């Protein structure tokens, strides 16, 4: 069986989410943190530390992700992560958000292949005497999929631990279909092991992609897990019946609430976090639009809980 990774989802797959998922559902082979942007402070901020402290991620294979276009800054953050014992680190070349892209980061960096090459050269030179392994999570390009030919040539010059390909371009955001033709090209021509990522929302979709790319040994799941946290069980054909699944969702949900509340972030912020999850999780509850609307509209925690009770 292939290996499965939980995708990084900024603001959602926090250490609280990762742990709650790991406890309640089929464990992933790897978990990725949402991106860290290098900054000039000496250590990590309190929030960053919470994400990466080994005791907050016990039992999980965690790969921290960095988003940077500046080799020296990136190396400083790699150094800080090394101090926490991380040996595998992922570089984000995929984020499509406008604020990130306008700074030439994430998938915005893909529009500057020469700079990208210099960046990777600097970073790999900088880690030469360490045992850090670097992987890359990439889109196909910024404006058009044909950019990927050059981008892959660049990646192929470096000993990447793996190349995670989300076969869309920045301009797609999350629209259009993943470009499977270009993914096939990547899989055939990458010198590093390739991981597939994009739009695996059902076990049937996984099987379809897996049959198309039988040599791919790793798959990264993102929104599919948010919509259906039991997706990996379904893929592995280990899912229990509907009743058992509903109980697990309830316990998973309660754990998330409890842990976010314990952070002391205030009910309003906890509700914001939970509602963001419901934007996806709600898809598992067709015909329950009324209760979902109540969840969306809830301004107070007691109302929120009553709406969740009604739904679950
Ligand atoms: C809300 C949101 C936040 C995301 N944050 C990150 C991130 O921090 N780092 C990253 O590499 N990708 C991020 N992504 C992209 C996902 O990791 C993944 O590549 C994308 O959702 C496609 O996979 P999926 O179709 O399985 O969800 C984010 C996506 C979404 C929707």
Q: What is the pLDDT of residues 17-39, one digit of tens each?
A: 999 999 999 999 999 999 999 99
For residue 114, report the distance from its CA to the centre of ligand 1, in Å: 25
Residue 154 has pLDDT above 90, yes or no: yes
Residue 106 has pLDDT above 80, yes or no: yes
Average of per-residue pLDDT values in the chain: 97
Q: Name the residue with higher pLDDT: 35 or 241.
A: 35
pLDDT in the model for residue 240:
82
The residue whose C-alpha atom lies closest to atom 31 belonging to ligand 1 is 9
Mean pLDDT throughout 144-166?
A: 98
pLDDT in the model for residue 226:
98
Q: Which of 5, 10, 163 to mutate to test the pocket of ligand 1 (most atoms within 8 A of CB)?
A: 10
Query: Percent of the chain having pLDDT more than 70?
Result: 100
Q: Is 93 exposed, middle or buried (0-12, 13-18, 19+ CB in 10 A)?
A: buried
pLDDT band at 246 (very low <50, low <70, confident <90, very high): confident
pLDDT band at 1 (very low <50, low <70, confident <90, very high): confident
Ligand 1 pocket, 224 CB below 6 A?
A: yes
Residue 49 has pLDDT above 90, yes or no: yes
For residue 280, report the distance from its CA to the centre of ligand 1, in Å: 13
Residue 243 has pLDDT above 80, yes or no: no
For residue 310, report the distance from its CA to the centre of ligand 1, in Å: 30
Instruction: Locate the ligand 1 atom nearest the alpha carbon of residue 224 and give its number.
Output: 26
Mean pLDDT throughout 149-155?
A: 98
Mean pLDDT throughout 201-207?
A: 98
pLDDT in the model for residue 259:
97
Mean pLDDT throughout 40-58?
A: 96
The residue whose C-alpha atom lies closest to atom 22 belonging to ligand 1 is 198
Lowest mean pLDDT among 79-83, 237-241, 251-255: 237-241
pLDDT in the model for residue 245:
85
Q: Which of 9, 98, 179 to mutate to test the pocket of ligand 1 (most atoms within 8 A of CB)?
A: 9
Ligand 1 pocket, 282 CB below 6 A?
A: no
């Amino acid at each position: 069986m292939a290996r499965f990774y939980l995708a990084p989802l900024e603001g959602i797959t926090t250490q609280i989410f990762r742990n709650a998922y790991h406890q309640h559902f089929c464990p992933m082979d790897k978990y990725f943190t949402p991106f860290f942007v290098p900054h000039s402070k000496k250590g990590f901020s309190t929030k960053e530390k919470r994400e990466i402290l080994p005791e907050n991620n016990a039992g999980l294979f965690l790969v921290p992700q960095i988003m940077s276009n500046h080799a020296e800054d990136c190396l400083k953050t790699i150094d800080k992560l090394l101090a926490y014992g991380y040996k595998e680190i992922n570089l984000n070349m995929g984020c499509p958000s406008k604020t990130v892209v306008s700074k030439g980061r994430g998938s915005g960096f893909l529009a500057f292949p020469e700079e990208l090459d210099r960046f990777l050269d600097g970073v790999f030179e900088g880690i030469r005497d360490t045992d850090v392994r670097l992987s890359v999570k990439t889109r196909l390009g910024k404006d058009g999929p044909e950019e990927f030919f050059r981008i892959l040539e660049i990646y192929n010059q470096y000993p990447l631990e793996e190349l995670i390909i989300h076969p869309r371009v920045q301009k797609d955001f999350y629209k259009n279909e993943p470009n499977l033709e270009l993914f096939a090209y990547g899989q055939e021509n990458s010198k590093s092991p390739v991981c597939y990522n994009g739009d695996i929302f059902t076990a049937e979709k996984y099987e379809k992609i897996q049959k198309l790319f039988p040599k791919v040994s790793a798959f990264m799941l993102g929104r599919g897990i948010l919509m259906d946290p039991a997706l990996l069980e379904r893929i592995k054909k280990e899912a229990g019946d509907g009743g058992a699944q509903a109980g697990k969702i309830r316990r998973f949900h309660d754990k998330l609430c409890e842990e976010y509340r314990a952070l002391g972030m205030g009910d309003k912020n906890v509700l914001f976090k939970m509602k963001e999850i419901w934007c996806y999780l709600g898809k598992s509850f067709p015909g329950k639009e009324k209760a979902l609307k109540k969840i969306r509209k809830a301004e107070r925690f007691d109302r929120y809980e009553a709406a969740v009770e009604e739904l679950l």
